[in-house]
Amino acid sequence: MTREISDIIMRKLAKHYGDVAPDLKYLDIYQLSVAVVLSAQTTDVQVNRVTPELFSRYPDFAALSAAKIRDVEKIVRSTGFYRNKAKNIVNLARRVTTDHGGKLPATRGKLMSLPGIGRKSANVILSVGFGIPALAVDTHIIRIAGRLGYTGSANPLTVEKAMVSFIPESMLTYAHLALIKHGRALCRARKPLCASCPVTGECCFDGKFS
């Protein structure tokens, strides 16, 4: 990979996909952070099914911090791992309320010290929620990064560092959203639709013409 090729890839993806938005539905940073914690090991569609009731009953960190975990479990049950998720989001709200004056902190380190938030989630919250350059790496991005030749590693942190070294800061949030869309639409895990792909010419994937 070179910076020049990476720029071409980003330009072509932007032309092909245009504006991209997160699939998670949220109105503010509180809702985004809770939705991101709930999105572990499930789909954004599934999270979007439970959050309207959750946010209606608990509209902010203060309300969620006072919730009974049992009550929250009932609402988030269908997202899977619901006991852990309910505990995490209530404890997240309690920590934000007690340690951060009710405001979600806007640094990766502080976010990652909160319940249920790992590096990927922190990067989503930073980039999508706060507009701070960060690249959240999920399984789609690991797969596409390998196929496009950013890195041969499947380690999320290695992939993040490799991609951040080639993609300008101003493009990181877009790259995250566009690559996830690309992974769902064309660069699927099985049988990627390479004939319809806008970056076939830049791609190193051995199977692209098979």
Least Cβ distance, residue 162 to ligand SF4 (angstroms)? 16
Site string for ligand SF4, 20-49 (x = CB under 6 A): ------------------------------
In this complex, which beta carbon is closest to ligand SF4, that of residue 124 or of residue 144? 144
Contact flag: residue 167 with ligand SF4 (CB under 6 A): no
d(CA 37, CA 31): 10
Among 1, 14, 164, 194, binds ligand SF4 (CB under 6 A): 194
Size of interface with ligand SF4, in residues (CB under 6 A) = 14
Among 147, 156, 162, 172, binds ligand SF4 (CB under 6 A): 147
C-alpha–C-alpha distance, residues 144 and 151, integer Å: 10
Among 96, 125, 148, 167, binds ligand SF4 (CB under 6 A): 148
33-62 in b/e burial notation, b at 16+ Cβ within 10 A?
bbbbbbbbebebebbbebbeebbeebeebe
In terms of CB distance, is 46 or 200 closer to ligand SF4?
200
List the catalytic residue out of 25, 138, 161, 208: 138
Identified catalytic residue from 120, 181, 191, 206: 120
DSSP helix, strand, coil percent of the chain (3-state; round to 5): 65, 0, 35
Neighbours of 101 (CB within 10 A): 9
Say if residues 38 and 86 touch (Cβ distance below 8 Å).
no
Phi/psi for 136 (5° steps) reads -85, 130
List residues with catalytic annotation.
120, 138
